[in-house]
C-alpha cells in the first residue's frame, strides 16, 4: 500500500512536471475547439457568407484597394492603388474580355461550345484574358501578334489554348498590321457561306463594351471602396491612370465625375505617346512622331500597355472628363518600380509604375491632406524580360526626390 501511494505520487509529480515543462518550453497553449459547437439553441453553424464562384469568370472584378504606404507617407496624402492585378487573368483586361464576349452573346453573334471563334490583335494583357475566357466559355481564341513578340508571351498564349498568328510588324495604316489582320481574318470567316462557325473580332480599341464595363464595375467599386476608407468630411480628390485603349480612364472618370464633379482626373503618359499633348494642348502629336525619327515601336518607351498615337472610340468616350496630364520618363518609372518593391513589397508592371510616378508628382502638387486613387494594372512578372530587366539593374533610390 505504502509502495502504491509512493508510486502514485511519483507518477503525479512527474506528469505535472512534464505538463508544466512542455508549457514553458512551447510558450503556447493550444486549445482545441470541437466543431460544430452545441449552443443553447442546438448545433450552431458558422456563417461565413462564402458562396463558391461558379467558374473563373465569376472571379473577375471586385478587386481590393490597397493604401500605398510609401507614397502616402512621403506626400502626406492618402494614396490608394486599385489592385486590378488580382483579377484571375492578372489584369483589368479580364473585365473587358468578359464584357466583349457577353455583349456579343447577347446579340447572338457567337454561341458557346459551338466552334465559334474570337479574334483579336494584341501582344498584351487582352490576349491573355481572351485566351483564358475562351477556354472557360467554350470558344477558340485566335490571337494575332507581331512576329517579334517575345517567345515568353507567345508560349503563355499557346498554353492558355489560343491559336497564335504571327505577322510582320507594320503601321496601323497597313492592312497587314496585326489588329487589321485580326479584323480581316474574322470577316473572311463570316463572309464565307460554307463556314459553319462564326468569328467575332473583339476590337478592344473601338468596342464600347470596354469603357462601359469600367463604368458599370470598376468605377462603382472605387467609389464605394473609397467611401469606406475616407474619414468624415474628406473626399476623393483625384483619380490618375494611363490609357492604352482608353477604356479604364473613360469608364472610371465618367462614373466618378457624375457623382463627385470636383474630382480631378489626370492621365499618366509614357514617352512617345500623344495623349499628353492631346490633353494639354488639344493636339495628338508627339515629337518622337516627327518624320524619320520614329523607331520600330508604336510608342517609343519600355512601358507596355499604355500610350498611343491615335484617338480611339474608348478614349473619346471619356476624354472630356480628363483635366490634366503628366508625362513620365522611362527612367522615372523604372526607379519607381524598384522603390515600390523596396518599400511596400509591391511588384508591379510598367504601366502601374508610370501611374505611381504621376500620382506622386500630382500629390506633391496638391499638398498634404488629399486623397488619390490610381490603378495597379498588372504584375511585374509579366515584364521580367524588358522593363524589370532595367529595373533590376538600376540602383535603388532612398527617397522619391531622387526620381
Ligand atoms: C498592363 C496594362 N496597363 C494598362 C492598360 C491600359 O488600359 P486601357 O486599355 O483601359 O486604357 C493596358 C491596356 O492594354 C495594359 O495592358
> Would you state the cell numbers that stand for residue 38, as one nine-digit string?
452545441
Chain length of the chain: 403
Angle value at C-alpha 70, between 244 and 372, nearest 5 degrees: 50
Whether 235 shows a pLDDT value over 70: the answer reads yes
CA nearest ligand 1 atom 1, residue: 305
pLDDT tens digits, one per residue of 62-101: 999 999 999 999 999 999 999 999 999 999 999 999 999 9
Q: pLDDT confidence of 26, banded at 50, 70, 90? A: very low
**Backbone dihedral angles phi then psi of residue 268, each to the nearest 5 degrees:** -95, 135
Which of 127, 244, 265, 270 gets mutated to test ligand 1 (max ligand atoms within 8 A of its CB)? 244
351 lines ligand 1 (CB under 6 A): yes
How distant, in Å, are the alpha carbons of 42, 259, 352, 353 from that of 240?
A: 53, 17, 11, 12
One DSSP character per residue, 266-318 reads EEEE-TT-SHHHHHHHS----GGGSTTT--SSSS-SS--S---SS--HHHHTT
The fold of 93-201 is Rossmann fold (3.40.50)
Ligand 1 neighbourhood includes 377 CB (under 6 angstroms): yes
* Cα radius of gyration rounded to whole Å, the chain: 27
* CB of residue 307 inside a 6 A radius of ligand 1: no
- The percentage of residues in the chain with a pLDDT greater than 90, rounded to a whole number, is 78
- Name the pTM for this structure: 0.86
CATH 3.40.50.1100, the chain: domain bounds: 61-91+214-396, 93-201
The class that CATH gives domain 61-91+214-396 is: alpha beta
Residue 104 beta carbon below 6 angstroms from any ligand 1 atom: no
**What per-residue confidence (pLDDT) applies to 90?**
97
With bands split at pLDDT 50, 70 and 90, how would you rate the model's confidence at 126? very high
Q: Tell me the CA distances in angstroms from 104 to 122, 142, 152, 200, 203, one per residue in order.
A: 19, 16, 30, 8, 12
Amino acid at each position: 500500500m505504502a509502495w502504491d501511494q509512493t508510486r502514485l505520487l511519483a507518477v503525479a509529480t512527474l506528469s505535472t512536471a512534464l505538463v508544466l515543462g512542455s508549457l514553458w518550453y512551447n510558450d503556447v497553449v493550444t486549445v482545441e475547439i470541437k466543431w460544430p459547437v452545441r449552443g443553447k439553441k442546438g448545433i450552431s453553424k458558422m456563417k461565413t457568407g462564402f458562396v463558391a464562384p461558379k467558374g473563373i469568370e465569376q472571379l473577375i472584378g471586385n478587386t481590393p484597394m490597397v493604401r500605398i504606404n510609401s507614397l502616402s507617407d512621403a506626400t502626406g496624402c492618402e494614396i490608394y492603388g486599385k489592385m486590378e492585378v488580382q483579377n484571375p487573368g492578372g489584369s483589368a483586361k479580364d473585365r473587358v474580355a468578359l464584357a466583349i464576349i457577353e455583349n456579343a452573346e447577347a446579340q447572338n453573334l457567337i454561341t458557346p461550345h459551338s466552334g465559334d471563334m474570337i479574334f483579336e490583335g494584341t501582344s498584351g494583357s487582352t490576349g491573355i484574358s481572351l485566351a483564358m475566357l475562351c477556354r472557360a466559355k467554350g470558344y477558340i481564341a485566335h490571337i494575332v501578334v507581331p512576329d517579334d513578340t517575345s517567345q515568353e508571351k507567345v508560349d503563355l498564349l499557346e498554353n492558355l489554348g489560343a491559336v497564335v498568328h504571327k505577322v510582320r510588324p507594320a503601321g496601323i495604316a497597313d492592312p497587314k498590321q496585326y489588329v487589321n489582320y485580326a479584323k480581316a481574318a474574322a470577316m473572311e470567316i463570316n463572309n464565307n457561306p460554307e463556314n459553319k462557325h462564326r468569328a467575332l473580332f473583339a476590337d478592344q480599341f473601338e468596342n464600347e463594351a470596354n469603357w462601359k464595363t469600367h463604368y458599370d464595375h470598376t468605377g462603382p467599386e472605387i467609389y464605394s471602396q473609397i467611401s469606406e476608407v475616407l474619414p468624415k468630411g474628406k473626399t476623393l480628390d483625384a483619380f490618375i491612370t494611363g490609357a492604352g485603349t482608353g477604356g479604364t480612364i473613360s469608364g472610371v472618370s465618367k462614373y466618378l465625375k457624375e457623382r463627385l464633379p470636383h474630382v480631378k482626373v489626370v492621365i499618366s503618359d509614357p514617352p512617345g505617346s500623344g495623349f499628353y499633348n492631346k490633353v494639354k494642348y488639344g493636339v495628338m502629336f508627339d515629337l518622337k512622331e516627327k518624320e524619320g525619327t520614329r523607331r520600330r515601336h508604336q510608342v517609343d518607351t519600355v512601358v507596355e500597355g499604355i500610350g498611343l498615337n491615335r484617338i480611339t472610340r474608348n478614349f473619346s468616350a471619356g476624354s472630356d472628363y480628363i483635366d490634366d496630364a503628366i508625362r513620365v520618363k522611362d527612367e522615372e518609372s523604372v526607379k519607381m518600380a524598384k522603390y515600390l518593391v523596396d518599400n511596400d513589397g509591391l511588384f508591379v508592371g510598367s504601366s502601374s509604375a508610370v501611374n505611381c510616378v504621376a500620382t506622386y508628382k500630382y500629390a506633391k502638387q496638391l499638398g498634404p491632406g488629399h486623397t488619390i486613387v490610381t490603378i495597379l494594372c498588372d504584375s511585374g512578372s509579366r515584364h521580367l524580360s524588358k522593363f524589370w530587366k532595367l529595373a533590376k539593374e538600376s540602383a535603388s533610390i532612398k527617397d522619391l526626390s531622387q526620381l
